Amino acid sequence: MYRSGAAESDSALTDGAFNAEGFSQPTLDSLGTPLSEVTFCVVDLETTGLAADACGITEIGAVKVRGGEVIGEFGTLVNPGESIDPRVTRLTGITDEMVADAPGIEAVLPAFLEFARGATLVAHNAGFDIGFLRHACELTDTRWPRPPVVDTVVLARRLTEKSEVPNRRLGTLARLFGSPVTPNHRALDDARATVTVLHGLIERASGHGVVTDAELVEFCRAIPSELQRRKKHLADGLPHAPGVYIFRDADDRALYIGVSVDVAARVRSYFSAAEQRRRLRDMLASAERVEVVECAHRLEAGVAELRLISGGKPPYNRAAKFPEHRSWVRLTDEPYPRLQISRNPPGPGTPRLGPTSGTQAQAAIGAIEAALPIRSCRTRLSPKRLSPSCVLGEIGKCVEPCRHSVSVEEYAAVAERAARAMDGDPAPIAAAVAERLAELSAAERFETAAERRDELGAYLQLAAATHRTRSLVAAGEIVAAGRAKGGGWEIAVIRHGLLAGAARTPPRADPMPHIARLRETSRVVEALDDVADAAHAAESRLLLEWLARPDVRLVMVERAWASRLDGAERWDGAIPHDPSPWRRSNGERLPHGGT
């Protein structure tokens, strides 16, 4: 049924190379799976109406095929939890009585997702069916697995002519390709008919050189718009080199900033059929020229992109545009401190976590407050007058500084423990939360246990990220080199968590003289022991990612660059998915996810 596109992999290519985006280039093994080996799950739904956010699913039918053979079928009625419109009943034949005893979507959806797991979803007018399935996931708090999707309507528009079919309806195409099943607005029968249509369309696509799933997805993409063709000249004459590209309008305002190790190839892609993002097509309508900032290598380009986006706030960029909106966790400066989320970076030497999202910051605070009797109220307390108490004090979760149950000096010890939780060993926090998880699990309060587990995970991850950036900044100057594609080395001079200089050495040349010259010409950076602001932290994290690459070698480190043995980094990734307490093999409970 399918034309085979299998080929033996060349062992010389299996390690990969770097593509135009600076990521590992796909090997022959990763360029796509031959269509004869792809598992397709052809799905069809019947519903109470057309709007996914206002109507329910009444039936799901699916057929799983591979290599032209059926390997499984799935079919069930679904109780939509609402009356079916009589007009829909006349079309599908599905009545309220038929679905009255059927399982609800919360029971059917997990079974269908398991049936379809690992397969490419196929549907006729896929936007309709996928929209309902995604909305069902939202209603049942189920993660949508984001499978590849093929729409047979889109394929039919590319592969059939008006002279042979008057339209691309499922019934019309089923007749064209000789389906043994006639579509009848019942989910499983319609899915079976769509299988025949899919096979017929794939046979036609093979005549266009489409032999893998990746090629099939690309073939489904729309042709470039007239606007893209008209603006294609903006990519002319750009360098095939690493750098940052800036789309500018007639007033020379930056519209969009991007980065690539091959600027020319990346900018050309915006004028191809592969670019379907509406906001970037809107951007192209205003673009009048493309400015390029050439860089020595991909790291320098990535740093330059961060700085330019943060400084210019281009309207069509989303990520990294507002580092000043990132959040910090800190202690308030008052007689009875509390944990606070702040947009302003704390001063030098101040205990802090961050920067991060407000959601993660609040979760981290939740973990610390769950472990320590630090107050969570926002009232500014005075050591000279009493304030109203709250329920946390009544149940013993707060030491009630509002009622002067502790002195300022005694409460300072609690605040010091919170400061150590941000700057030092997180073990006391993890141990206390683990004890609480054990209590909740024993009481079978698993949802609450999962919330506490997620708070602990957010806290440990944030603490680890905070400590990593701090150690990089405190290390002073670091010189490192990574292997360059085509030979030579990509050199970076990092000073206090900022990129101060970058260069690339020629192939087979001694890199040390180049490194010496680069150190002399790199910019001077003010000595710091911690990140100064969110933009500084973002750049430090980008540098840390590069430094962690296996091909990068350290040439020189000015000061000690290390992490505390009892610090948060040893906990990173140690949070289990099971909210029950962690135990050793002998049953002894651990205060963290270690072994």
What pairs with residue 245 in β-bridges?
Answer: 258, 292
SS3 477: strand
Element of type H or E holding 354: strand 352-356
Please state the φ and ψ torsions of residue 492, each to the nearest 5 degrees: -135, 130
Element of type H or E holding 554: strand 552-557
Angle, vertex CA 436, rays to CA 432 and CA 438, nearest 5:
115
What is the SS3 string spanning 408-451?
HHHHHHHHHHHHHHHHCCCHHHHHHHHHHHHHHHHCCCHHHHHH
Strand segments (E) across 48-192: 57-66, 69-77, 120-123, 149-151
Sign of the four-CA dihedral 363, 365, 366, 370: positive
Give the chain's radius of gyration (CA, Å): 30
What pairs with residue 554 in β-bridges?
Answer: 480
3-state percent breakdown (helix, strand, coil) of the chain, nearest 5: 40, 15, 40
The count of other CB atoms within 10 Å of the CB of residue 460 is 26
Spatial CA neighbour of 40 closest among 107, 122, 139 = 122
Burial classification of residue 457, based on how many CB atoms lie within 10 Å of its CB (0-12 exposed, 13-18 middle, 19 or more buried)? buried
At how many degrees (to 10) do helices 358-371 and 427-442 cross?
80
Quick one: tokens of 33?
């799976």
What pairs with residue 498 in β-bridges?
Answer: 495
Sign of the four-CA dihedral 339, 345, 346, 350: positive
Name the catalytic one among 124, 135, 185, 208: 185
Q: For residues 312 and 324, what is the distance between their CA atoms, to the nearest angstrom? A: 13
SS3 150: strand
Q: Which residues, other chains included, contact 10 with Cβ-Cβ below 8 Å and sequence gap of 6+?
A: 28
Q: For residues 421 and 456, what is the distance between their CA atoms, to the nearest angstrom? A: 12
Spatial CA neighbour of 514 closest among 501, 505, 522 = 505
Residue 91: CA count within 13 A, CB half-sphere? 13
Q: For residues 296 and 292, what is the distance between their CA atoms, to the nearest angstrom? A: 13
Answer yes or no: 297 catalytic: no
Local structure of residue 297 (DSSP, 8 states): S
Q: For residues 5 and 212, what is the distance between their CA atoms, to the nearest angstrom? A: 7
Active site residue ranges: 185
